[in-house]
Amino acid sequence: MRGLLRGWTLAVLALVYLPILAGALAGLSRSRYFLFPPRDWARDWSLDWWAKVAGALEIRALVANSLLIAAVVTVLAVGFGLCGALAFARHGWRGRRWFQRLVLLPLCFPQPVLGLAALMWFDTLGIGTGWRTAAVAHLVWIVPVVTLVIAIRVYGFDPALEEAAADLGASRLAIWREVTLPMLWPGIWSGALFAFLLSWGNFPLSLYTAGADGTVPKWLYAKMVAGYSPMVPALGTMSTIAAALVLGAGAAVARLARGRG
Amino acid sequence: MAAPPPARSRRRRRLSPGLRAAAPVLALLAFGFAAPLATVAAMSVSPPGSFAPAPGPDLQAWARLVDPAGGLPGSFAVTLGLAAATVAALLAICLPLAHALVHLFGRWSGLVSTLFVFPLFVSENVRLYGWALVLLKNGLLDGTMKALGLGPGPDWLFTPAITLAGMIYVHLPFMLFPVVLGLSLVPRETVEAARDLGASRARIWAEIVLPLASPGILIGMLLTFTLAAGALAEARILGGQSVIPVAQEIETAFSYAQDWPGGAAMALALVLITGALALALLAAIDLDRLLGRRR
């Protein structure tokens, strides 16, 4: 039974990563069209498409836009999410159960519909779409996720510690800095990682709300629908590797912080 | 400790600390979530040909929505059917998977969980496109089978079945992690006690594990159903338009067809269906118990 379950897990994992592997192979093949297996295993590989992607000015602008949106979303989502998590899990207040449900609601809505609704709303207000409106749309979906991630940490936090600090004469600011933030830090850090990476990879919200500002997922989709180019899997793989590096670096920082604290 | 302790001081006249902490998120959701949905509602009752909410109310878009001759009721049925099939398949895949993650991997469970989370951060287009590269003629599967002398690979691309497979694939993490949360609510001692008393494995699952884990399982079902009901890219990239889901009809209404009221009515209908389901299920679930459990 145990062996069967382990095998099942590994089989599902293999299927989860198979398409990512296929994209990596396609981006590294020399030919214009994807052929597998390559005729010559030794010579049919090249980094040409990678170099082409890295050299394209258009793609640099996309990466800059995606990074800008993800950075803004991360900072704001952590601020919103931290407040939201305290209201979600820490304070006993009358509207809390109602608030918990409301926070989860945007996650249960199809993202293309949310993006379209935001587009119509911005249109009605006369706000032109661009990276700023895309960031707002991302926040509506990402703040609930960050709120949940931080809330899980808040549940495990004993408010008696804050009270003890207050009884010992610590100021509010000092309590925040010395007690509350260090306790919640792992949740805040994971929330920030989630926010950055979910924004970086988001397509359906950006499609409708980024206007003329291109993002990496938007560009990839446009090229996919238009026809095949090895630049698509090459950029897709590069974007995946970047996300993996961010996740790995984030985990390493968390581990270092835990070791010290 | 299921519920957090009540706030220390409940001031009468000032806003409660909870409401003050909730205020920024409430403001964001009012601006970025409620107001846009209200705009869609206003748009859906505007006269045909409007490109901004216009005074009405004009119910033509809704009349077309429920008219069987227009084909839209069928489109909704197909979409919701595919979403239901996605949920059923994901339950079958994720229950054993979540059990393994909770009980089997020990100190590796963090790494294995991370491996399952990571695809969420890769744009779903890229992953679905990867499947197309696997299944294409001379793609990974076809090429490998030919090289091994097994003949040409199966012709699965551009069928409704592969659309469903893509939906199952993309939404896997949204089922897996709530189910993991749910299963870790089940106390080990209870399961062991039942086993000591001679209960069969099937009976333990039916009468102990599933009921105790139900908050997580229900959230997983809810999330995957609603997300799958709005799925678009699977049908476009893998299905080759062999199935037209509602999300695609909505996009067409807003782009080629230039029928904004029609698109808004479809979007609102989808939102009403998924929203009603979400509210009904969320009302039945104790979120404090699901998220605040202590291991």
pLDDT at position B129 is 92
What is the CB neighbour count within 10 angstroms for residue A222? Answer: 13
The phi, psi pair for B277, rounded to 5°, reads -60, -45
Q: What angle do CA A187, A190, A192 make, to 5 degrees?
A: 105
* Residue of A13, A93, A136 to mutate for B, most B C-beta atoms under 10 A: A93
**Residue A119 corresponds to which tokens in the numbers above?**
């587009």
* Residue of B16, B33, B252 to mutate for A, most A C-beta atoms under 10 A: B33
Q: Which residues of A touch B26 (CB under 8 A)?
A: 99, 102
pLDDT at position B11 is 45
HSE-up of residue A234 (Cα within 13 Å, Cβ side):
25
What is the CB neighbour count within 10 angstroms for residue A97? Answer: 14
pLDDT at position B1 is 39
More confident residue, A257 or B29: B29
What's chain B's average pLDDT?
A: 88
Tell me whether A201 touches chain B (CB under 8 Å). Answer: yes
Crossing angle, helix B260-283 and helix B72-103, to 10 degrees? 40
- Measure in Å the smallest separation between the Cα of B199 and chain A Cα atoms: 17
Note whether A104 contacts B127, CB cutoff 8 Å: no
Q: Which residues of A touch B3 (CB under 8 A)?
A: 92
Q: Predicted confidence band at B294 (pLDDT cuts at 50, 70, 90)?
A: very low
| Angstrom distance (rounded) from CA B164 to CA B170 | 10
Tell me whether A71 touches chain B (CB under 8 Å). Answer: no
pLDDT at position B293 is 53
| Angstrom distance (rounded) from CA B194 to CA B250 | 51
Say what percent of chain A tops pLDDT 90. Answer: 60
Q: How far is CA B156 from the centre of its chain?
A: 24
Residue B165 has pLDDT above 90, yes or no: yes
ipTM: 0.91
- The answer to whether A126 and A111 have CB atoms below 8 angstroms apart is no
Q: What is the pLDDT of residues B58-74, one digit of tens each?
A: 888 898 888 888 778 88
pLDDT at position B295 is 37
Tell me whether A176 touches chain B (CB under 8 Å). Answer: no
SS3 annotation, chain B: CCCCCCCCCCCCCCCCHHHHHHHHHHHHHHHHHHHHHHHHHHHHCCCCCCCCCCCCCCCHHHHHHHCHHHCHHHHHHHHHHHHHHHHHHHHHHHHHHHHHHHHCCHHHHHHHHHHHHHHHHCCHHHHHHHHHHHHCCCCHHHHHHHHCCCCCCCCCCCCHHHHHHHHHHHHHHHHHHHHHHHHCCCCHHHHHHHHHCCCCHHHHHHHHHHHHHHHHHHHHHHHHHHHHHCCCHHHHHHCCCCCCCHHHHHHHHHCCCCCHHHHHHHHHHHHHHHHHHHHHHHHCCCHHHHHCCCC
Mean pLDDT of B195-211: 92
Q: Between the CA of residue B124 and those of B60, B128, B178, B238, what are the distances in Å?
A: 35, 6, 20, 12
- Measure in Å the smallest separation between the Cα of A53 and chain B Cα atoms: 16
What pTM, to 2 d.p., does this model score?
0.89
Tell me whether B218 touches chain A (CB under 8 Å). Answer: no
Tell me whether B190 touches chain A (CB under 8 Å). Answer: no
Tell me whether A137 touches chain B (CB under 8 Å). Answer: yes
Closest by CA position to A261, among listed A192, A185, A174: A185
Residue B31 has pLDDT above 50, yes or no: yes
Residue B3 has pLDDT above 70, yes or no: no
Residue B10 has pLDDT above 60, yes or no: no
Q: What is the pLDDT of residues A198-247, one digit of tens each?
A: 999 999 999 999 999 999 999 999 888 887 788 999 999 999 999 999 99
Mean pLDDT of A136-145: 96
DSSP string, A126-154: TPPPSHHHHHHHHHHHHHHHHHHHHHHHH
